[in-house]
Structure 1
Amino acid sequence: MEIATANETRATKSSFFLVIVTYLAFISLGLPDGLLGIAWPFMSTRANVALDSLGVLLLGFTVGYLSTSSTSGKILKFVSLGMLLAISCVLTALSLLIYALSDAWYVMIVASFFLGAGGGAIDSSINTFAASRFSASTVNWLHAFYGVGATTGPLLITLMLTNRLAWYHGYIAVAAIQISLAVLFFFTQKRWQVSSASSAHDEQHSNAAYLHTLKLPVVWLYMLIFFLYTGLEQGFGQWLFTLLTKSRGIAEEQAGLWAGLYWGSLTVGRIIFGIALTRIPVKHVLTGAMAGIVGGVVLFTININTLTTLAGISILGIANAPVFPSLISVTPERIGKEHTATAIGVQISMAMLGGALLPGSAGLLSEEFGLEVIAKVFTIAAIVLALAYLLGANGSKRISRVN
């Protein structure tokens, strides 16, 4: 009995340690996303490219992300999860250093590919590990810690600017954090164990169900939802600083704080909704979130005064908070348990495409119609997102049976 109790205690301590390290990994995922929104105007000037070139950088990131997120299961056959995480963090750190130190545009594009590759490997592998080891509530908190990283990024660069340092010092600081995490993952390799038998079973099931799942109309509807949501969440954060400084005449330090407010609202919202979802049905939370997303974007776009703009930023951040993890959680119910693995895979892939293509397309339109068209694009995306979600929520059982 005493031996069993001792083993349980060691297992509990090991699990707690892994939870903490996993949270740190998600913070590291969010940090680069928060940095780019503030740094891009400075980066584009140094590289002598137009502001709408952000779409090229995002596309390179997305291609890199998809190249590893879609193949992480195969990569794990050759290296351990801990080693994969360590290598990914090193790759991310080197890419961030190139962003900080290079003014060659094509070199930055290559760096964006490897930054995405590092992030994709971390994201997919750590989510797979968490799903097999931790409770649903713990997994939900992972996304909150992503927000912690995304919030810290803008505040870090703003701190550099207010202390008469350059924006790229923020990238160097985050690269140092990534290296530290790489060391941590390397020396804790033995703790990162994923059941290979389970992974093989899941892969076989996924391959068998893939084409059948894609025949379901509801799957395509939710792919659209993920595309629009992630494009809006990421795109707004990436363009917010540029819109405030280049179009609305807000001082850089103030705009940096407002960008931090957006990501901070997203983080606080995920903490709040992580608790609220234990009492409120997820359907009601998502419906309210969609209304908040539309309202927040509209308030920001009409730009009546400083107060309404700030309110729009905050509302949008809070409303975005529960959407991604909650949509993932309702996938088995709305699409079917037998289709869950494949559906989640394509949803996440579409989310990454949306995160690159929607803000990139908005940037291209801004060259012809001015920067404020970006806010209008996000408004249209928010409205279509809300309508698509309502259709999926109210008619998923009916349309999932259509062949």
Structure 2
Amino acid sequence: MRKEKILILISFLAFISLGLPDGLLGVAWPFISDRLQVPLDRLGILLISFVAGYLSSSLSNSKIMEKVSLGLLLTMSCFLTGTSLFAFVLIEEWFLLIIAAYFLGTGGGAIDTSINVFASAKFSASVVNWLHAFYGIGATSGPLILTAFIIQGHTWKAGYWSVGSIQILLGILFFATSKLWEQQDKEDNTSSHTSYIKILSQPKVWVSIMLFFLYTGTEIGIGQWLYSILIKSRGVSEASGGFWVSAYWGSLTLGRIVFGFVLIKVATPKVIFLAASGLILGTLVLFLNINMQLSFMAVVLVGLSCAPIFPSMISSVNNWFGTHQAGTIIGFQVSAAMMGGALLPAFSGFLSRQYGLEIITLVFFIQAILLLIGYIMLKVKVV
């Protein structure tokens, strides 16, 4: 039991390290784009490169784990993300930044996939929600760290140096505790190898894949584009914009902590339905832009609504499809989630080049509607 508690704590730290770079980029991107003299919509290319790296490590995770223990994998992944963040500061060429984003995604993908697989086998649904809350802590801390440096007169580079150093320190911690992970690797090594063709022949599977694609594309898209929309389109100051982004990630984090307790007593399907409905309302108010106060409340509502959706859907896969298919399907879902996290924000960026930044808030609203429709289809078994 003591070893399990230690691993839970370290897993929380791993997800903090996963969230830190995601929260940084949304605030730093306007400065990076000015420095490299590239348009704002090039963020989409950077995110696609990040996701390509993520997929390369997540899809090969099982083969990597055959040769490397989980603790060592986490160690190497943190070192890789740390050095990639340092590269963001040092690089002066756009194409080199794309390469750095690829390796940043590679490290993040290894951390995300390995810990999620481990948690699904070892931890309860509430702990999984809390685990993802620590991702939010990292994503919330990133903008706060960067904004604090900017307010104090430093450049965005100071934030990247600091977060990169934190990644390296976490890597050292994982290396120091690698034997604990290795012991756990030898336990519960049972997995079902259901045919991919058989699994993908089920329409319900594709609907669930679409849900993860839409949800993550919306969550990441809001986190990445909100700052640019506020300071470039709505006249919000840089300091206030950073606070709004932190409020978004912070409400998402708080929501996951709270919903970890709520899910002990409230049925998971009800929580997902209410959260998806709240997401629709929040994105609608953000799109309407009635006034700053309502828009800020909408950002907080969107963060709270996003909070339980991803971990609760992960926890529901066994009920949706049965334990014999769950492992394989989760792999498809997580991969789809990362693709959505890159492609949908990129799509929003391409639209903004033609129709302006405000079109992005309309895209968020439409994605939220599609998410609820897809979940209803899955729940009532109409597919």
User: Do Structure 1 and Structure 2 share a fold, with TM-score over 0.5?
Assistant: yes
SS of the residue 2:264 aligns to: coil
Aligned residue for 1:330, secondary structure, equals helix
How many angstroms does 1:213 deviate by?
Answer: 0.7
Tell me by how many angstroms 1:131 deviates: 2.9
- CA shift for structure 1 position 66: 0.6
Q: Distance in 2 between matches of 1:134 and 1:366?
A: 41
- Normalising to structure 1: TM-score of the pair? 0.92
Query: Mapping of 1:212-223 within 5 angstroms?
Result: 212-223=198-209
1:14–1:195: structure 2 CA closer, same or farther, 3 Å change rule?
closer
Residue 304 of structure 1 aligns to a residue whose secondary structure is: coil
**2:304 is the counterpart of 1:315:** no
Contact 1:94 1:175 in 2 (8 A): yes
Superposition map of 1:130-149 within 5 A: 130-149=119-138
1:49 alignment partner, SS class: coil
Larger radius of gyration: 1
Q: Which residue of 1 aligns with 2:70?
A: 81
Kindly state the Cα deviation for residue 14 of structure 1 after the two structures are TM-superposed: 2.3
Contact 2:231–2:237 (8 Å) recurs in 1? yes
Q: Percent of counterpart pairs with the same letter?
A: 47
Residue number in structure 2 paired with 1:109: 98
Written as runs of structure 1 = structure 2, the 5 A alignment for 1:242-257 is: 242-257=228-243
For 1:385 and 1:13, the matched residues in 2 are separated by 40
* Separation in 2, partners of 1:365, 1:384: 19
Question: Structure 1 CA distance, aligned partners of 2:76 and 2:272?
Answer: 36
Residue deviations 1:89-120 (CA, integer Å, cap 9, x gap):
11100110111222211111000110000001
Q: Which residue of 1 aligns with 2:53?
A: 64
Other-structure match for 1:225: 211
Q: Distance in 1 between matches of 2:185 and 2:175?
A: 19
Match of 2:291 in 1: 305
Letter in 2 for 1:336: G
For 1:209 and 1:184, how far apart are their aligned partners in 2? 38
Q: What is residue 161 of structure 2 aligned with on the other side?
A: 172
- Tell me if structure 1 keeps the 8 A contact 2:69–2:185: no
Q: Tell whether the 8 Å contact from 2:82 to 2:165 is kept in structure 1 after alignment.
A: yes
1:291 equivalent to 2:277? Answer yes
Cα deviation 1:333-356 (Å, max 9, x = unaligned): 122332211111111111000000
Q: Does 1:280 align with 2:266?
A: yes
Match of 2:34 among 35, 40, 45: 45
Q: Does 1:334 align with 2:320?
A: yes
Q: 1:198 offset after TM fit, Å? A: 4.5
What SS does the corresponding residue of 2:179 show, helix, strand or coil?
A: helix
C-alpha contact 1:31 1:149 (8 A) present in aligned 2: yes
Residue in structure 2 matched with residue 6 of structure 1 by the alignment? none
1:25 is matched with 14
C-alpha displacement of 1:188:
1.4
Offset at 1:210? 1.8
Taking the aligned partners of 1:99 and 1:370, their CA distance within structure 2 comes to 27
Decide whether the 8 Å contact of 1:245 with 1:255 is kept in 2.
Answer: yes
- Which structure 1 segments of 5+ residues have no match? 1-11
**Structure 1 segment 3-22 matched on structure 2, within 5 A:** 12-22=1-11
Question: 1:137 deviation in Å?
Answer: 2.4
Alpha-carbon distance in structure 1 between the residues aligned to 2:268 and 2:163: 35
1:345 aligns with 2:331: yes
> What is the alpha-carbon root mean square deviation over aligned residues?
1.3
Q: What secondary structure, in the 3-state scheme, does the structure 2 residue paired with 1:64 have?
A: helix
Q: Does the CA-based 8 Å contact 1:209-1:339 persist in structure 2?
A: no
- What letter matches 2:119 in structure 1? A
Deviates more, 1:111-120 or 1:340-349: 340-349
Matched, 1:380 2:375: no
Partners of 1:54 and 1:360 within 8 A in 2: yes
**Cα deviation, residue 232, structure 1:** 0.2
Question: 2:365, 2:92 → 1: CA distance?
Answer: 34
Q: Match for 1:211 among 197, 201, 207?
A: 197
- Residue 289 of structure 1 contacts residue 319 of structure 1 at CA under 8 Å; is this kept in 2? yes
Deviation at 1:283, TM superposition (A): 1.2
SS at match of 1:278: helix
Cα gap change, 1:233 to 1:334, in 2 (>3 Å): same
> Can you give the 5+ residue segments of structure 2 that lack an aligned partner in the other structure?
none
In the alignment, is the contact (CA less than 8 A) between 2:125 and 2:312 conserved in 1? Answer: no
* Segments of 4+ moved more than 6 angstroms: none
